[in-house]
Amino acid sequence: MKIFISYKQTGIKKEELDIKLNLLNSKIKPFCSNSYCLWINDKPNFYEKEVLINKIKNQIINCDVVLWLIDNKDKSEWQLLELWIAYSLWKKIVLLVRNDIKENYYLIYWITKNIYYFDKLEDLDFKKILW
């Protein structure tokens, strides 16, 4: 199983992204053959918008599951683009939503039944989520 990790980057401290995304990546590793997270896999590279969109699209095409991490009340246009790509390709979409902001995102809950709420990322049971 190949997993694409979608997350909000704009306005988030680099150190916070490192900790959060490396934790998430390490928790899913036992349950997948491959995972892709732009921040982890391509962090040093900055692309033009069109190149970045194609890179993301190709990664989503080659994945089985898109994990959509929602842990910030501010919406991300890039995440919405990733979600639209995944949905249009009929990919399995899993929403990981922090409990204290779940009301902010009620309009996107129709897109999948795979919604998991959490207080801390560490508490999520990915064996249950991914199987």
Q: What is the CATH number of the domain that holds 119?
A: 3.40.50.450
Per-residue model confidence (pLDDT) at position 106: 61
Spatial distance between the Cα atoms of 62 and 67, rounded to a whole number of angstroms = 14
Element housing 57 (H / E):
helix 49-61
> In the prediction, which pLDDT does 10 show?
80
The total domain count for the chain is 1
Q: Taking a C-beta distance cutoff of 8 angstroms, is the pair 76, 8 a contact?
A: yes
Average pLDDT per 10 consecutive residues for the chain, totaling 131 residues: 89 87 92 88 72 90 94 85 93 92 70 90 90 75
* Residues 121/24, Cβ–Cβ less than 8 Å: yes
**At which residue do the structure tokens 């194609």 appear?**
54
Q: What is the pTM of this model?
A: 0.87
* Residue 22 domain boundaries: 2-130
Residue-level pLDDT at 89: 96
Going across the sheet that includes 34-36, the strands are 34-36, 2-6, 65-70, 92-98, 115-118
pLDDT attached to residue 110: 76
Q: Go through 70-82 and write b for each residue having 16 or more CB atoms within 10 A of its CB, e for each that does not.
A: bbbeeebebbeeb
Report which of 75, 84, 110, 116 is spatially closest to residue 98, judged by C-alpha positions.
116
